[in-house]
Amino acid sequence: MAYRDEKLDEEKVFKDPVHRYVHVRDRVIWDLIGTREFQRLRRVKQLGTTYLTFHGAEHSRFSHSLGVYEIVRRILENFRDHKDWNEDERLLSLCAALLHDLGHGPFSHSFEKAFRLDHEDYTQSILLGDTEVNRVLSGVEEGFPKKVADVINKTYTDKLVVSLISSQIDADRMDYLQRDAYFTGVSYGHFDMERILRVMRPLEDQVAIKESGMHAVEDYIMSRYQMYWQIYFHPVTRSAEVILSKILKRAKELYKNGYEFELKPVHFFSFFEEAPSLEEYLDLDENVVMYYFQMWIREKDPILSDLCERFVNRKLFKYIEFNPNLQMNAWRELYDLFEEAGVDPRFYLEVDSSSDLPYDFYRPGEEGERLPIHLLQPDGGLKELSRLSEIVESISGKKRTDHKLYFPADTVEQISDEKTKQRIKGILYGREEQ
Amino acid sequence: MAYRDEKLDEEKVFKDPVHRYVHVRDRVIWDLIGTREFQRLRRVKQLGTTYLTFHGAEHSRFSHSLGVYEIVRRILENFRDHKDWNEDERLLSLCAALLHDLGHGPFSHSFEKAFRLDHEDYTQSILLGDTEVNRVLSGVEEGFPKKVADVINKTYTDKLVVSLISSQIDADRMDYLQRDAYFTGVSYGHFDMERILRVMRPLEDQVAIKESGMHAVEDYIMSRYQMYWQIYFHPVTRSAEVILSKILKRAKELYKNGYEFELKPVHFFSFFEEAPSLEEYLDLDENVVMYYFQMWIREKDPILSDLCERFVNRKLFKYIEFNPNLQMNAWRELYDLFEEAGVDPRFYLEVDSSSDLPYDFYRPGEEGERLPIHLLQPDGGLKELSRLSEIVESISGKKRTDHKLYFPADTVEQISDEKTKQRIKGILYGREEQ
Amino acid sequence: MAYRDEKLDEEKVFKDPVHRYVHVRDRVIWDLIGTREFQRLRRVKQLGTTYLTFHGAEHSRFSHSLGVYEIVRRILENFRDHKDWNEDERLLSLCAALLHDLGHGPFSHSFEKAFRLDHEDYTQSILLGDTEVNRVLSGVEEGFPKKVADVINKTYTDKLVVSLISSQIDADRMDYLQRDAYFTGVSYGHFDMERILRVMRPLEDQVAIKESGMHAVEDYIMSRYQMYWQIYFHPVTRSAEVILSKILKRAKELYKNGYEFELKPVHFFSFFEEAPSLEEYLDLDENVVMYYFQMWIREKDPILSDLCERFVNRKLFKYIEFNPNLQMNAWRELYDLFEEAGVDPRFYLEVDSSSDLPYDFYRPGEEGERLPIHLLQPDGGLKELSRLSEIVESISGKKRTDHKLYFPADTVEQISDEKTKQRIKGILYGREEQ
Amino acid sequence: MAYRDEKLDEEKVFKDPVHRYVHVRDRVIWDLIGTREFQRLRRVKQLGTTYLTFHGAEHSRFSHSLGVYEIVRRILENFRDHKDWNEDERLLSLCAALLHDLGHGPFSHSFEKAFRLDHEDYTQSILLGDTEVNRVLSGVEEGFPKKVADVINKTYTDKLVVSLISSQIDADRMDYLQRDAYFTGVSYGHFDMERILRVMRPLEDQVAIKESGMHAVEDYIMSRYQMYWQIYFHPVTRSAEVILSKILKRAKELYKNGYEFELKPVHFFSFFEEAPSLEEYLDLDENVVMYYFQMWIREKDPILSDLCERFVNRKLFKYIEFNPNLQMNAWRELYDLFEEAGVDPRFYLEVDSSSDLPYDFYRPGEEGERLPIHLLQPDGGLKELSRLSEIVESISGKKRTDHKLYFPADTVEQISDEKTKQRIKGILYGREEQ
């Protein structure tokens, strides 16, 4: 039998807390899961620094990837007999679902900003480069790795396949909302996925939702909305990310300045040069990063040491609301005061805006946006969701930004010049503490 | 106000997937959670290598410790007005609950066996040594750290306090059964804790259970039974532990033999000498261990490299049932055959027995055992659980051991001497493959 | 000890699927639950005819009433130490919570419309009349029954007490949303009640919600929205209600016309006269009503018999969308055609509008509305919810009406005059079936 | 297309709280659900008088029957491609699953004992008699109703089909354990049905369970055990059943004695004669029974009136433990004392034994027992469950009987002869109250 059609002697199942079981029957899928590049996802947390806010959020991208695979598998079971679904695309869809996050590095968002990387480029490199994953995919048929890469890159010709993992209601989102809710323990994030799967209909270039399922989809959109504000944009999580970014910035600066590290950051060199090779990129998972951070607590550079201590032992920055339109003068004054007090503001003062975060609400029609959700009407016509749903209409297209100013409250307390300290606290906490 | 009585301005809550919320009102508890020794528990998984079998089991001892604290907090809320409960022991009980696992090192079981350590000794050292935890506890009153250490060590005079975290139905077990079930996703591990908490009654030297709650306790005992066989003793998890032990054994051997490591295992030196200081012990968390394992894949020693590759990328040993009474000759023959084939049996052949594992069933009356569960009868008398419950009676005191022989099936396949390979496979798989 | 302060020797608990346990410590509460008027609520379904759409919805007002009591009990536990809460109102609040639905009759909505009754009047009568409930309440103190009646009637002076069971986020709604979701099995209806209880703050005249709990409240409002459209306004449920109303209308008409019933509707006489006494009202629960309906299947009046057969054996009317602005002519034509065909349109043709149903969305500021939800801000100020929440703003104040035209599709098929039948079907189903 | 193969244009789904959705595609199934005999099951509670103990237990046999159907449907989806499964038996199996409880009357257990009826006989009569159900089944093929009746009667030739709904681990039990747990709200009753369905294997004459699923089956057996003792044998439920039996006994006695009823029990006449016709049997559902009980509260016979008042308004009998071996003399004395006091002991004193209840534990090999559970071993052999499972072994075959003596504690208090009252109370409550 051709490798692409090979089935396991006995179906393998993974116990999964979110989907109960993940079922694997294809040998290709089983072999992909066993590759070192896929196993590496166990060492990258799904939610980065969120575990410092919600202690349950210690789950990895490994379990999320299995979950996305499982959802696509279930969708395709329902599609099997539909005339608009091409069963030849099944294995391709499953592979793309499983591998869509393969290029994620440690604490993705912060690393990508600090070192000008894009995890999507690395996903492509892993799929197409000299890797175990590539060898498995190549066994399916010539050009198969490229096909998988194209689906993940949204450039594959069959847009229906693309939409399974990249649309406004794709398997990726449906898994992470439920999974992140489960592990953090919040009661948001629940929606009736079983119903949504039942009302999905394959069309030529997208998955549409039968109009009778509109309320289930509304619930899904609301879950997204709540999860973003309750979990993904949580200000304490962002405090940890601010510190993480500052560590990377400081380490790079020290490296550029020829500082003599106690523990040489050999794993970071190519990152500091903004040109890690694929191998170097794969080597730097969150275990390795945390190893350095733990070691760097003992570096003699006080800023690097302090920031690492803060991250590792969760001594985070505090925050206040910040209005960039009204408070820029205050910010400049703070900046100067920090400098006067010997607290380097480049590392200890930061405005963080939720709008910089890589999450999107439902914004139909916006340029570069993912395909909006279409409802399939009894007469066969399509209508965009927000035209039928008042609730979705009310939250779509709106951009609510939340700015916070982060600073080390404990360090401020230790400023020796009393007058400077009081002026800083006056600005930060308002009159009542002056 | 005395530090011991100090309350937070506003109650802090942690969102917890198992208990919904963990509530903290005491400043002492809040400060303990902020110490570096407690934060370190985030870097020690609750279930060691189990995540390689159940991918959801990535949770840490940090969340378990908060859970045990929360259960004791709820128990004590119920005890508040009971004449047999001394409210002065409240804070002590909460501290002991929170800190009872403080000394756990990375992959506890394997490390303790390999290096003859005992995590309980380290818990004592952390509580009594020069640590942030000790400084917080000392603030409560003189001798308070020792009291906490005594409760955890089961030597504290008030046995009722001890029994809250060390008995057959203590907060420790009630948390881990539920938590491990939640994160692995299995349906075992559920029991009606709310009911058990309601029927707990403080006696002079123990917590008894009102007889009307017997069925809830039976359910709890059954959950334990199922969790042990389904989760804790899972043969795949044990395969990963076997490999882990072999890595440690090999690294120590190489060290003793003066092998030149590419990456010097400085964090391990004192462990190889079986005398790590407290600081050295605390430094070696699972991040650090995994860092070494990942680096050692590139060591030139083929055994160390291969074993680390297996552990990091989950290329585990296979296993077969093994009856030590009947099959010792087969084992000896295998051992010799492995040697002949150049596969060092000291590292590639292992019999693992579940009875070696640090879990216990319910065994009332056994020497050194924890206090059995006593049911409080309407007339005020006490009866040991297994005398009233047929189900518990049926499983208590029994020792079911499960032996498995672990070996690298892939390596066996690559043995070049065909005859040796066939004899090995004949022994391992029986006649049908010869 | 005074009866009002009397505690049960041992707390009683009811196992409740929604709140896990309902706890009763006060003898007054225990005695109220034992009265015949409260036990009668077991014979009135919480959701009327909904069980014909969602087969799980067989739960009664008895369990809902216990649930509302339990929620208020938990709220008051949190309020105990707040300066704005008067602990003397505790028992009153609990009684009002338990008894707020006491006057509900069988299939409330339909009966109230058919016989011009108001269940709230009967709640007052039961509390103040010659009943077991009144005797228990009178034992608390003179005038206590009146106080309870006033709280339920929203005329009690302490508006904070009133708001516990009658506001936009009261215990009544919080119970029924969760309970109805649980028994129907839908995934809507979930919100984090534990969190809402924790952020409730007693003010002088209402319960406010701390602003930090806004997202939990949004989730609650969304649950309401989804439950109304998915459950409460379900068109199949309304079909059963239409038939039920027609049965009552027909029975009354027959009675007025002196028709000789096989089974004389003695329980209904006073209802037909629109003046049931309290005793007559209490006698007519859903068991009794169903008994008559089952018997009336054998009545010789073909309309009464047919309608009862439809209700009892779930042979419901079909429905089509109906636009009263555009389709009144069609409706009139149908009416005439039905008459021609010998199908009495007064009993077999009905337009039902969801806006007639006794449920409300969140409509702050509307005349006669319940108190809106106020968020308590960090500075102590209050803001109405929809001013802070975009989502709530988007659905509040809107009145979405849904009209359906109900008719017996099977009867239409049996119309003997082919031409009339085809014209009727043309109007009902559109051109394609003509 | 033949009626037996006819599919609905669109799959119908029922929202079910236990199985999430019940799916119907076959027109035959859809038509059966619509029959009056099946709809009648809405008026028979699944758990009889249990709702007086667990207020959530108001669910009917209607929802249970749908659940059993759904489980068999899922089992058969897994069986589809197995060589030992004959797909021609599919529709038969589904019909038998759906209809297996069709003959249950009101409060089955009590009625069957009081009037010497057997609901299984009536199931046969409904299937084979002049009913809507029979007409639907007859449309499938000649003799089909008889086949369905044989499957339910366990006399059908294909024992594999029989075992789906009548074995130690059949769809009937799997549904009711979960459903009854869900509606009562207890935490017992949970087991991993999804896993059990996956390890079921069709054999020639039974369904076997793969040995790897043993732990899931153990959990199921434990659920049964717990549910029996916690729910099905609950002494308060049995108190209500005792009263119910006494009402039937009294009504029959009065009827035999020519008593003039205010409300003539016309629906009961044929039952009193122990020969109800099928039509008479079907007419007497729980609504009708409750109607009589409510009316009879106003009968002039004090015993009938009192007993009905007790049942309707839940003024139940109290109970004490009773040892029939030791306490027969006490019982006889009580009997006489009750007579002396004018409290007719034939209606007010009863020993009820759980062993009389129609539930069985797992008792392999017992005469007349259902087929035991067989585990399918890797080598294809079968082993009976209790030989492999210590836990099951420990509870199987044991008969634990629980005797209670029921009596009206309030009536005893009102006995006017002080001496008689004290002697009665002395026997009932022991010395302390004398």
pLDDT tens for each residue of D144-160: 999 999 999 999 999 99
pLDDT surpassing 50 at residue A426: yes
Average pLDDT estimate for A282-287: 95
Res A356: pLDDT? 54
Res D81: pLDDT? 82
pLDDT surpassing 90 at residue B390: no
Query: Which amino acid type is present at position B139?
Result: G
pLDDT tens-digit readout, D83-93: 889 999 999 99
Tell me the chain A residues in contact with residue D21 when contact means C-beta distances shorter than 8 Å.
Answer: 194
pLDDT surpassing 70 at residue A360: no
C191 touching A (Cβ < 8 Å) = yes
A38 to chain D, minimum CA–CA distance in Å?
27
B410 or C113, which is more confident?
B410
Confidence band for A369, pLDDT divided at 50, 70 and 90: low
A194 touching D (Cβ < 8 Å) = yes
- Do residues C408 and C343 touch, judged by C-beta distance below 8 A? yes
Res C369: pLDDT? 54
Query: Across the interface, which of A20, A21, A194 has its CB nearest the CB of D21?
Result: A194
Mean pLDDT taken over chain C: 91
Tell me the chain D residues in contact with residue C314 when contact means C-beta distances shorter than 8 Å.
Answer: 34, 39
Res C434: pLDDT? 34
Query: Across the interface, which of A20, A194, A198 has its CB nearest the CB of D194?
Result: A20
pLDDT surpassing 70 at residue D136: yes
In DSSP terms, which residues pair with B405 in a beta bridge? B320, B351
pLDDT surpassing 50 at residue B434: no
Query: Which amino acid type is present at position C350?
Result: E
Highest mean pLDDT among A5-14, A360-369, B109-118: A5-14
Res C433: pLDDT? 39
Subunits next to C (3 or more Cβ pairs <8 Å) are A, B, D
pLDDT surpassing 50 at residue B367: no
E strand intervals along D284-373? 318-321, 350-353
Res D361: pLDDT? 52
pLDDT surpassing 90 at residue A305: yes
Query: Across the interface, which of B219, B226, B400 has its CB nearest the CB of D226?
Result: B219
Res B362: pLDDT? 60
Cα separation, A174 vs B307, in Å, equals: 37
Q: Do A34 and B315 touch (CB under 8 A)?
A: yes
pLDDT tens-digit readout, C8-56: 988 899 999 999 999 999 999 999 999 999 999 999 999 999 999 999 9
Subunits next to B (3 or more Cβ pairs <8 Å) are A, C, D
Average pLDDT estimate for A57-83: 95
Confidence band for D432, pLDDT divided at 50, 70 and 90: very low
Average pLDDT estimate for D303-314: 98
Confidence band for B48, pLDDT divided at 50, 70 and 90: very high
Q: Do D187 and B187 touch (CB under 8 A)?
A: no
Q: Which range among A55-64, A100-109, C56-65 shows the weakest confidence by mean pLDDT?
A: A100-109
Res C379: pLDDT? 86
pLDDT surpassing 80 at residue D318: yes
**Closest chain A CA to residue B298:** A283
Q: Which range among A40-49, A312-321, A342-351, D323-332 shows the weakest confidence by mean pLDDT?
A: D323-332
B398 touching A (Cβ < 8 Å) = no
Query: Across the interface, which of C13, C20, C194 has its CB nearest the CB of B21?
Result: C194
D190 touching B (Cβ < 8 Å) = yes
C394 to chain B, minimum CA–CA distance in Å?
29
A21 touching D (Cβ < 8 Å) = yes
pLDDT surpassing 90 at residue C386: no
Tell me the chain C residues in contact with residue A187 when contact means C-beta distances shorter than 8 Å.
Answer: 190-192, 195, 219
Cα separation, B284 vs B268, in Å, equals: 8
Q: Which range among A30-39, B76-85, B323-332, D146-155 shows the weakest confidence by mean pLDDT?
A: B323-332
pLDDT tens-digit readout, D16-27: 999 999 999 999
Structure tokens at D168: 């130690």
Subunits next to D (3 or more Cβ pairs <8 Å) are A, B, C
Res D370: pLDDT? 63
Q: Do C187 and A395 touch (CB under 8 A)?
A: no
Tell me the chain A residues in contact with residue B56 when contact means C-beta distances shorter than 8 Å.
Answer: 15-17, 59, 63
Spatial CA neighbour of B197 closest among B18, B88, B364, B76? B76
Q: Do A192 and C190 touch (CB under 8 A)?
A: no
Q: Do C394 and A398 touch (CB under 8 A)?
A: no
Instruction: List the 355-394 stretch of A: residues with Cβ below 8 A of C.
Output: 390-391, 393-394
A374-376 and A382-384: which strand pairing? antiparallel
- Do residues B12 and B22 touch, judged by C-beta distance below 8 A? no
Tell me the chain C residues in contact with residue A195 when contact means C-beta distances shorter than 8 Å.
Answer: 187
Query: Across the interface, which of A195, A226, A400 has its CB nearest the CB of C215?
Result: A226
- Tokens 């929170």 belong to B98
User: Over pLDDT 70: what percentage of chain C?
Assistant: 94
pLDDT surpassing 80 at residue A189: no
B195 to chain C, minimum CA–CA distance in Å?
9
Mean pLDDT taken over chain B: 91
Q: Do D185 and C315 touch (CB under 8 A)?
A: no
C225 touching A (Cβ < 8 Å) = yes
Beta carbon pairs, A and C, within 8 Å: 54
- Do residues B235 and B366 touch, judged by C-beta distance below 8 A? no
Spatial CA neighbour of B279 closest among D93, A297, D377? A297
Confidence band for B427, pLDDT divided at 50, 70 and 90: very high
B55 touching A (Cβ < 8 Å) = yes
B83 to chain C, minimum CA–CA distance in Å?
16
Res B370: pLDDT? 63
Res C356: pLDDT? 54
pLDDT tens-digit readout, D330-383: 899 999 999 999 999 999 999 998 765 444 556 555 445 567 899 999 888 999
- 3 state SS of A244: helix
Average pLDDT estimate for B89-113: 94
Query: Across the interface, which of B192, B195, B394 has its CB nearest the CB of D391?
Result: B394
pLDDT surpassing 80 at residue D409: yes
Query: Across the interface, which of C192, C226, C391 has its CB nearest the CB of A219?
Result: C226
Instruction: For each of the domains in chain C, give its residue range(s) and CATH number, in order of start.
Output: 3-233+374-394 (1.10.3210.10), 239-314 (1.20.1250.30), 317-361+399-434 (1.20.1250.30)
Tell me the chain B residues in contact with residue D400 when contact means C-beta distances shorter than 8 Å.
Answer: 390
Q: Do A182 and B62 touch (CB under 8 A)?
A: no
Q: Please name the residues in contact with D280: beta carbons below 8 A apart, sequence gap of 6 or more.
A: D267, D270, D271
Long-range pairs of D124-127 with CB within 8 A, sequence gap ≥ 24: D124/D149, D124/D152, D124/D153, D125/D278, D125/D281, D126/D37, D126/D99, D126/D102, D126/D278, D126/D282, D127/D99, D127/D102, D127/D152
Average pLDDT estimate for D107-126: 90
pLDDT surpassing 80 at residue B379: yes
C330 or A182, which is more confident?
A182
Query: Across the interface, which of D13, D20, D194 has its CB nearest the CB of A21?
Result: D194
CB atoms within 10 A of CB C107: 21
A20 touching D (Cβ < 8 Å) = yes
Average pLDDT estimate for D290-295: 96
Confidence band for C179, pLDDT divided at 50, 70 and 90: very high
Average pLDDT estimate for B375-401: 82
Q: Do A394 and C395 touch (CB under 8 A)?
A: yes
Q: Which range among C145-149, C226-230, D173-177 shows the weakest confidence by mean pLDDT?
A: C226-230
- Tokens 């099946």 belong to D38
B39 touching A (Cβ < 8 Å) = yes
Spatial CA neighbour of A220 closest among A286, A258, A257, A175? A175
Of the residues C24, C311, C313, C314, the best mutation for testing chain D's interface (the one with the most D CB atoms within 10 Å of its CB) is C313
Structure tokens at C292: 């008559």
Res D359: pLDDT? 46
Of the residues D7, D77, D195, the best mutation for testing chain A's interface (the one with the most A CB atoms within 10 Å of its CB) is D195
C45 to chain B, minimum CA–CA distance in Å?
29
Structure tokens at D98: 């759906």
Subunits next to A (3 or more Cβ pairs <8 Å) are B, C, D
Average pLDDT estimate for A289-318: 97
pLDDT surpassing 60 at residue A389: yes
Of the residues A40, A42, A58, A306, the best mutation for testing chain B's interface (the one with the most B CB atoms within 10 Å of its CB) is A58
**Closest chain A CA to residue C223:** A219
pLDDT tens-digit readout, B24-42: 999 999 999 999 999 999 9
Cα separation, B183 vs D29, in Å, equals: 40
C21 touching B (Cβ < 8 Å) = yes
